[in-house]
Every structure is written in C-alpha cells, then in structure tokens.
Amino acid sequence: MEGVGRPGDDEAPGRVSYQGAPGAFSHEACLDLRPWDEPVAFDTFEAAINALKAGEVGAALIPVENSTIGRVEPAASLVESSGLTIVGDAWRPIRLALMSVEGARLGDIKTAESHPAALGQCTGFLTANSITAVEAFDTAGAARAVAEAGDPTRAAVAPIRAAEVYELSILSNDIQDSADNRTRFVLLSA
C-alpha cells in the first residue's frame, strides 16, 4: 500500500478516516501506512466510510479480515456495499496487550474490554486467567474507558500505543492466541 496516493512535493497532505479512538489498531495503521496524511477518527466504520463519501476526507482505511477470526464485521460488509474503490491493501501484524490502571495486578482483573474482534483473538488468554470479556466499540476506546474508570479490576485489550496514550500499565503483552495474528486493511477512495 505504500506509495498509493502519496502526495507530490507541491501537494498538501490529505486526510484518512478510520474507526476508533487514537491509539487503536486502525490509527496505528494510518500512521504507519499513510504517514503523510492526517488520520481522522470516527466512532463507527459506517461513519468513517460516510466521511469519505461526503468528501470530508480523501481516503478511508478499514480492517476487513483477520488471520485468527476471519472477516471483521460489520466493516467487511460495509466496504462491500459502499460503492467505493479499494485502491490498496496491507496485512498488518496485530499484537494485543492487557492493560489497566497503575497498581493493578493480573490476578485482580475480572473483566477485559475491547472490540469484539480483538476479544476473539485472545480467548485462550482470557479463559486461562478467568477474565470475562466485555465488548466495546474499539480497542483504544476501551483503554480510554478503563483509564477514566480507575478501577483496578477492569482491563482493556488493546495495542501498546493505547497504553501510552491513556497512561495505562501493561499487565501482559502478546496475549493473542496466534503468534502470526494479522489484520488486512483496505484503503478506500471515492
């Protein structure tokens, strides 16, 4: 995907929509795959796609498939029905971490919040540690909610960047069930 839509020397950087809060995997993918563009966060996949249709952004970066759980829904269906053009795609490694507030310990965690796709990628770890999965809109949004709650029995499953953004402590890293956990992101254009 590198180089797709890269601006020339005389062009201003564009804007790329993604679903999630700052620190989400889609945010990381925007920063890594489109470093010349401004990432713009939206709460839902539909809103990120609609922003492209409305001309608010020049592209959208959407996850559609994961090596562990298969299709990322509803994102994949929304892309298929959007009428937009896929102009690039890239598989990105997905490393999940369990994070909570400062002072929390793994043995005290009762619930882990995250996007359903992320929770599905670490069921072995959660089951082995008797942690109940709680669905949230996105990985980084779950990290933000855990930080705001300040409850040491709550954790989030999210990328390491989310721990940095929301000042959380990593309790366990690489908790995904597959060492080769990857997600395919597609770049959409109008």
Contact 176, 68 (CB under 8 A): yes
In DSSP notation, 111-144 reads: EEEE-HHHHHTSHHHHHHTT-EEEE-S-HHHHHH
Nearest to 96 by CA among 185, 187, 184, 182: 182
pLDDT band at 137 (very low <50, low <70, confident <90, very high): confident
pLDDT tens, residue by residue, 14-33: 999 999 889 888 998 999 88
pLDDT (average), residues 73-102: 94
pLDDT tens, residue by residue, 71-86: 988 999 999 999 999 9
